[in-house]
Structure 1
Amino acid sequence: MTADLRGPALDDTATADLALVEEATKKSGLVWVRGTGPARALWHLWHEGAALLVGDGPGEQPLPAGLDAGATAEVTVRSKDKGGRLIAWAAAVAVLEPRSEAWEAAVAELKGKRLNTPDADRVTDRWARECRVLRLTPVASRTELPDGSLAAVPLPTTVTTRHPIPAGLPRLLLKRRKRG
């Protein structure tokens, strides 16, 4: 890791905080990222001291507004086992230029972790044409977790479906409760 990606030298407390940020973010499959609008839950990959994201293209996750080159984002990491907020950190946003050396390295890692892609053999070409690949590098070791609930109205989406529940489902659910 080169010093220019991490910024100036860190004291012992900041180094420990950065290690905590890295370990928590690595283990969590999902992070909440806030740019200028509401936070969104995003899948990511921790690689070489930063969280990598891909999105804003057909079939990919929508990225929050305000994640532009040089911007700052707030990242909240959830506990993998309990799902609650574990740690929050500030990040510098870098938009990786398609086909650059940094983009190729990031996409090589992301491609291996992307689940259920319909075009696994051509996904890198699609990402280069239609998506954005972002690198979120910690700039503040930790930020304070907010007090209280951050519950909000779900963001609008076109992927909701409304179908009647199967007729046997209530019976199956009640049967399981009686056994326990």
Structure 2
Amino acid sequence: MDRVTAAATPSAEEFFDPALVEESAKKSGLLWVAADGQGPGRPLWHAWQGGAVVVVGDGGEQPLHGLVGGGTAVVTVRSKDKGGRLVRWPARVVEPAPGSEAWQAAVDELKGKRLNAPDTDTVTDRWARECRVLRLEPAGATTQRPGAMPDTSHAAQPVPTPATTRHPAPAGLPKLLFRRRRP
């Protein structure tokens, strides 16, 4: 094989990565998105439409945590059957204008995935008024995939909270709860 033919032949990763991204995004109910690759990924429900993940958020829907049109993000998709991380890829964030053809195509796909909407018949009108619809378009090769996962732990640190752990139950409480009552 000469150099020209070898350079034009895609590697196995280049060939299978787009299919892995698409199939995993279609089958998974949630994905984790980190705006600009910063901080922990936040879970978002989504749909796959026209070669990209589409999400709706803000307003009365899920928070989009720093995702803005023209920005970037890192998307992590879990395996539907095992629940573990399956693939991670960089994305370009695109915000179609409400009412545009791209916006309508995304909304049509998202509407079918939206469970328990309080206003099923008029949800698209509400999304146009109050929410943002974003497309997360793959923007490069996958950074993690089967056979190319990091060896280090990716356990996230708990989010800081003012909540406290409950104090242990008093020693005498079980006796009070489970004592026999006299007839």
TM-score > 0.5, shorter chain as reference: yes
Residues 24-60 of structure 1, C-alpha deviations (whole Å, 9 max, x = no match): 11111110000044320011101111000000111x1
Does the residue aligned with 1:96 lie in a helix, a strand or coil?
coil
Question: What displacement does 1:21 show?
Answer: 1.0
Displacement of 1:155: 7.4
Structure 1 residue 153, shift from structure 2 partner: 1.6
Looking at structure 2, the residues matched to 55 and 138 of structure 1 have their Cα atoms a distance apart, in angstroms, of 19
SS of the counterpart of 2:121?
coil
Other-structure match for 2:155: 150
**1:40 aligned to 2:42?**
yes
Match of 2:140 in 1: 140
Counterpart in 2 of 1:167? none
Structure 2 unaligned segments of length 5 or more: list them: 1-7, 162-183
What is the CA–CA distance in structure 2 between the aligned matches of 1:10 and 1:104, rounded to whole Å? 37
| RMSD after superposition | 2.0
Decide whether aligned partners of structure 1 residues 82 and 154 sit closer, same or farther in structure 2, where only a CA change above 3 A counts. Answer: farther
TM-aligned CA deviation for residue 151 of structure 1: 2.0
1:11-160 equivalence runs, <5 A: 11-13=10-12, 14-35=14-35, 36-58=38-60, 60-65=61-66, 67-144=67-144, 145-146=149-150, 147-154=152-159
Indicate the structure (1 or 2) with the bigger Cα radius of gyration.
Answer: 2
Q: 1:112 to 1:155 in 2, by over 3 A?
A: farther
Q: Percent same amino acid at aligned positions? A: 60
* Count of matched residue positions in the alignment of Structure 1 and Structure 2: 146
Amino acid at match of 1:83: G
Shift of 1:64: 2.0
TM-score normalized by structure 1? 0.75
Corresponding position of 1:176: none
